[in-house]
Amino acid sequence: MSDAALDARELTFTAEGTGARELRLEVSRSARIRLSAGARRLMWARVCSGFYGVTFARSEDASSPGFLPPFRADEARRHQDRAWWMRRIASGLAESPITPLRPGRWQLAHLVADASDDACFVHPRAELRSVGPLTVFDLLEAAAAPSTRDDDFGGHGSWSVWPLRRPSDADEARVKAWRKHAVEGTLPPVVLWSVSGLQSHLLLDGHDRLVAARSAGVTPDVVLLWRVHETPPTEERMARAAHAYTSQFERHPGGRQALNTMLERAFSPTRAPADAFAIGRSDMDDEWDREVASVLTAEDADAL
């Protein structure tokens, strides 16, 4: 990880390296999708005919996939700073063999609750709040997600959250421990990964913390990982911004901070979500069908 730029709610960085990667997102010609961590299958999905939605399935394995080193209770009590947690998450993902990171630009964004919908989280930058891949719906429902689920894209994608393991029971010891943190306000954030082809977010880390927050009636902090496509600023845009800065500063010299922010953004690259990296597999369909049949009931497998 290099070239990191950090503010209170965003960490933008460059992922490097071409080492062995145990996390694989695979897609077949028939729109069957599979996410694997080494030999372990984490998720199966199938995009519906007509591309109006996607059906998900997960295994009943309740152990952590291990994307990140476990968050510790002493860390949670010592650090309530958003920037610290984003650095912790970024470094953990960069060092993990089970990581969605591929070479290129990435961002971790500490999402904010939508003022008009308490079940929705949006990007901290106003200009990105209407961008589907950076909007999260129905977070707490993922704490009790069934083994299969149908998501209707509804023309704009569902952008809801899908867990990558079976949720723990609310009375399990680790969940109870995190529930205390949720009540005290020291619960570390849950970590999501925005995957464009699914038009959904995958829960990378924080399955037990999400269950704890839900059982405590608390909304957890949310950090979203997304791959960034950057477009350099044009000469025309920079010239317009410089002219606007000069004219506005002459009329409102006291507004220097706001004008400086405007100028900085005009001279910075424009950021938009990029597609997730996926591996094309022409020979995966039969294997996918057998795996789904082995982990789901006959009724659920037929639905998928």
- Pair 258, 180 in one domain: no
Which tens digit of pLDDT belongs to each residue from 47-86? 887 777 899 999 889 899 999 999 999 999 999 888 999 9
Predicted TM-score of the model (pTM)? 0.84
The helix-helix angle for 173-184 and 207-216 (nearest 10°) equals: 60
pLDDT tens column, 119-156: 799 998 888 877 778 899 999 999 999 989 888 876 55
User: Taking the alpha carbons of 262, 265, 267, 272 in that order, is the dihedral positive or negative?
Assistant: negative
Per the structure, the count of domains in the chain is 2
d(CA 102, CA 105): 9
Query: Is the sign of the CA dihedral 23, 66, 137, 30 positive or negative?
Result: positive
Among candidate residues 33, 40, 27, the one with its CA nearest the CA of residue 56 = 33
pLDDT tens-digit profile of 156-208? 568 999 999 999 999 999 999 999 999 999 999 999 999 988 889 999 999 99
Task: Let me know whether 215 and 243 are in one domain.
Answer: no
Beta strand 279-280 pairing with 23-27: parallel
Domain of residue 179 covers 2-230+272-298
Would 250 be classed as within a structural domain? Answer: yes
H or E element, residue 237: helix 235-251
> Is residue 48 in a domain?
yes
**Which CA distances in Å does 96 have to 31, 65, 123, 208, 223?**
28, 11, 26, 20, 18
Q: Do 123 and 152 lie in a common domain?
A: yes
Q: Are 273 and 194 in contact (CB under 8 A)?
A: yes
pLDDT in the model for residue 272: 60
